[in-house]
Structure 1
Amino acid sequence: MTRFTVVMATYNRGRHILPSIRSVLAQTHDGFELVVVGDCCDDETADVVAAIGSPKIRWHNLAERCGSQSFPNNAGIAMAGCDHIAYLGHDDIWAPGHLAALAALFERDPTLDFAVGGAIFHGAPGSDFRQVTGIFDDDRVPFEHFFPPSSFAHRRDVTDRIGPWLPPHEVRAPVDSDFLLRAAHAGMRFASTGRVTAHKFAAGHRYLSYLRHASDEQEAMLARMAAPGYETFLAAEVAAARAAGTFMAVRYSAFENLEKGEMARRNAGNKGIALPVLRPLERRETIRQDDGPRALDWRLPMSDDPTVRWVGSNPRPKVLIPFTAAGSVRIKLQLVHSDRHALRTLAVTVNGGPAGVRLSNPEPRGTFFGATASLVARLDPSGYTVLQLELGRSQRPLGGNRGLGMADIVIQPLGAAGRLATALGSFLDPFRSRQGDD
């Protein structure tokens, strides 16, 4: 029997790691051990893993925070008691037959280096975003197409031949792409199971996912797999990806044009690992749009107006407020849309709670219309605040419609001190703008 050491790298996932672990323990192929490696976790993850009480699970926590899956992966390989290494992201889900399908490939061809299962990258709920990868029969595919670690397994001696997973600051590509490309260029052999058995809920596609952990999507996938109709669902997802041109479309980029570590820095921004400095709100502040990473929530600014960012495929895009306040604050969002009627309503939550929003009358703004959404809310007194927009159909990018755009975000404290600061800020604004023109 082919035996696998399953390596699960994690950082402060807490109880939300449980769906991923359950998907490993539910495998029909019994020849595996699970090594969960924490990247210096300082939350309850160790206790959550220990409480499962399975003899198949081992826990190891790195002594220092490294900030990349490379280090936990290398530690897990070093601890491996089996001849084949599989990986599962701490927020990804395996179908019950995943390891069995990989094992069948290795048993059919003992000289095979990598066995790859099909994987679906799932977008945020309601986004209609999906990408399917890992289904191929062409030897050139590993040189061009990316497979997430959750979809593949390799012989343990692969790292003896090509070296370990490398730190992100040493490579231009993402560390998983670098690992696979080194293997492909070393002449290693890849084969696909030809069927989807891995579900990828990429943290890098979910803006601020590390700031507010959740596992609703993973729990829903486990429930879907246990219910009738799962195979029909899979077939529909693959068919939809083919129709949208996202089947086997996850290709490697021109990484040689990037600085070393650049991809890791972008991904950290998408996930909410790298955040702007958190400051107390002492006066009116304006957050201006930039080209920082926002995952699939917001597209990069366009050349016709770099002060605006337009919504992406996520129908519930998030906005980060890097300020704290003890009392209430007023938040004003400068919105843009090609259709004035799409600026009549807006649903917003603040740190998960609903907020009342008032919208000004839309007015022409170049070839678009602009309006101001105003709400009063309480910021997190000791941490970051997250606004989440609930977009209606007309506010999403459909066809030639860009959807909703957002320009400046203005935050001002309320109360006696806040009113004084606001009045002073309004008085000084003309002078500040003149200084900026000089």
Structure 2
Amino acid sequence: MNTRSAPCFSVIVATYNWSSALALALSSVLDQTEPDFELLVIGDACTDDSEAVVTALNDPRVRWINLEHNCGSQWGPNNVGLSLARGRHVAYLGHDDLWAPRHLEAARQCFDATHAEVLAAGCLLYGPPTSGLRALTGFFPHDRFTPRHFFPPSSLIHTRQAAHRAGGWVGPDVSRTAVDQEFLLRLQESGARFASTGEISVFKFNAAWRRNAYRRRDVAEQRACLAALRENSPAYLMRELTTALRAASEDRLLRIETPLNAERGATVGAGRNQAFKGSHRPMAIGPPVVPDKALRFDCEDEFAGFEWHGLETDAGGTRFRWIGPCHQASRALPVGLDRPVNITIRVVNEIQDGLLNASSLSVNHHPVGSAWIQPCDHGFEWHAHVDPTHWSEADRAELLVTITVPSTHRPLDLGINDDRRWLGLAIGWMEVAPA
């Protein structure tokens, strides 16, 4: 095809086995007010019906490519997309994110006005549904980009020449930091000029903040967002900006910045995120233990999205973590279930009287009955009996304990102290024993 027929934009969508989210993301691309684009959907060795979703669009601008081998993250599909891109500019969209209809139009206007080589579109990031968290990226103080000002690939638009000069995307085995941040660093180090469109046109539902997002495949948030954008995009944006401002007033607006000392390998971080969001199984550390005696699991400072706050220690030396800001917090224990078990949870504290009584437990997404007692010493013991006899084999292969609290609160608002964190229950250890 000759140069004159090349589109203004090449849109690259990297995807892996989440066709219901992919369909919504692609719809937001086809809804663009700027029609001069090609859409390259690159499967990371997909094995689901993603190809059928793309084919059903029946749009000559759309192309499907599925890699033979899984790369484990977007860097591989994005590089393939770059090698095939014909557009003067390249834009990316995460398969579980959405664009407002003016996204590409605003980018075209910004390229014409600024002659920049790399653009950041304003992006609104949504925390897990019960967290109330929001974040904003894509804006630079004094219109000057530095490596601290991270923005996600769904916000990124660059000239094709800038990407080639930067050497494209690299994998986590050689990246100094996360692969998306590494690409921004390479663009900057190659001398590319950055600018912001100044408009919020990206809505990101970060899977790395949502436990087992790839296993649950819940797209209710994206579906509601797309419907609202189609009904009245300016009105929806105004509502969401109001929500973000309220989040800021309630200490729920996150600051998305990259530490200056972020020069570190990305393999560990990538594996951690993949395991949490459920796109890949965690690295095996041996078969799960079947309890023939009581097994106690103390608190660990492991990654848990926004379900748990950091590890703390009380005056008596008990280690614990507060649930929050999410209303639901889970812990995966290396325990196999081939028989009924009793679970005991040490509740060190509750942020508000009566919160424990109104909370509930589930194991492997099965609700379980529970009761609590207040022993002589400080805190509570929460007891539950679990009978997995009729569960599927997959449900018996691991133990995921989930605590749901009706609400979280700031100690500041309750008059306890000046702590501005959103807290629920403080959990110490968990114990699993044969019934």
Superposed displacement of residue 293, structure 1: 1.4
In the superposition, the TM-score normalised over structure 1's length comes to 0.84
Change (3 A) 1:286 1:54: farther
Once the two structures are overlaid, the 10-residue window that deviates more, 397-406 or 68-77, is 397-406
**Is contact 2:13-2:94 (8 Å) kept?**
yes
- Tell me which residue corresponds to 2:23: 18
Which blocks of at least 5 consecutive residues in structure 1 are unaligned? 414-421, 423-438
Give the alignment of 1:34-53 within 5 angstroms. Answer: 34-53=39-58
- Tell me which residue corresponds to 1:429: none
Provide the rounded CA distance (Å) in 2 between the counterparts of 1:164 and 1:274: 28
Give the RMSD, CA atoms, in angstroms: 2.8
**Is contact 2:144-2:195 (8 Å) kept?**
no
Superposed displacement of residue 309, structure 1: 2.5
Provide the rounded CA distance (Å) in 1 between the counterparts of 2:300 and 2:372: 24
Counterpart code for 1:80 = A
Superposed displacement of residue 116, structure 1: 1.6
1:66 aligns with 2:81: no
Per-residue CA deviations over 1:357-395 (Å, capped at 9, x if unaligned) read 3222234655xx2221414253542255544433122x5
In the superposition, the TM-score normalised over structure 2's length comes to 0.84
Provide the rounded CA distance (Å) in 2 between the counterparts of 1:396 and 1:248: 17
**Is contact 2:117-2:192 (8 Å) kept?**
yes
Give the alignment of 1:318-333 within 5 angstroms. Answer: 318-325=330-337, 328-333=340-345
Provide the rounded CA distance (Å) in 2 between the counterparts of 1:151 and 1:222: 17
Change (3 A) 1:298 1:160: same
SS class of match (1:132): strand
**Is contact 1:311-1:397 (8 Å) kept?**
no
Counterpart code for 1:281 = V
1:390 aligns with 2:410: no
Per-residue CA deviations over 1:181-205 (Å, capped at 9, x if unaligned) read 2222333111112121101111111
Calculate percent identity across the aligned residue pairs: 30
Provide the rounded CA distance (Å) in 1 between the counterparts of 2:269 and 2:370: 39
Change (3 A) 1:260 1:135: closer
Counterpart code for 1:275 = P
- Tell me which residue corresponds to 2:312: 302
| Larger fraction in helix | 1
Per-residue CA deviations over 1:249-280 (Å, capped at 9, x if unaligned) read 31111444634533323323432334264637
Which blocks of at least 5 consecutive residues in structure 2 are unaligned? 1-5, 413-418
Once the two structures are overlaid, the 10-residue window that deviates more, 5-14 or 44-53, is 44-53
Provide the rounded CA distance (Å) in 1 between the counterparts of 2:32 and 2:159: 19
Provide the rounded CA distance (Å) in 1 between the counterparts of 2:246 and 2:64: 39
Superposed displacement of residue 147, structure 1: 0.8
**Is contact 2:244-2:253 (8 Å) kept?**
yes
Counterpart code for 1:308 = F
Aligned counterpart in structure 1 of residue 131 of structure 2, from 118, 122, 127:
127
Change (3 A) 1:336 1:246: closer
Counterpart code for 1:76 = G
Superposed displacement of residue 331, structure 1: 3.4
**Is contact 2:178-2:266 (8 Å) kept?**
no
Once the two structures are overlaid, the 10-residue window that deviates more, 262-271 or 125-134, is 262-271
**Is contact 1:269-1:275 (8 Å) kept?**
yes
- Tell me which residue corresponds to 2:282: 275
**Is contact 1:95-1:225 (8 Å) kept?**
yes
Superposed displacement of residue 232, structure 1: 2.5
Counterpart code for 1:73 = N
Aligned counterpart in structure 1 of residue 382 of structure 2, from 372, 397, 417:
372
Counterpart code for 1:406 = I
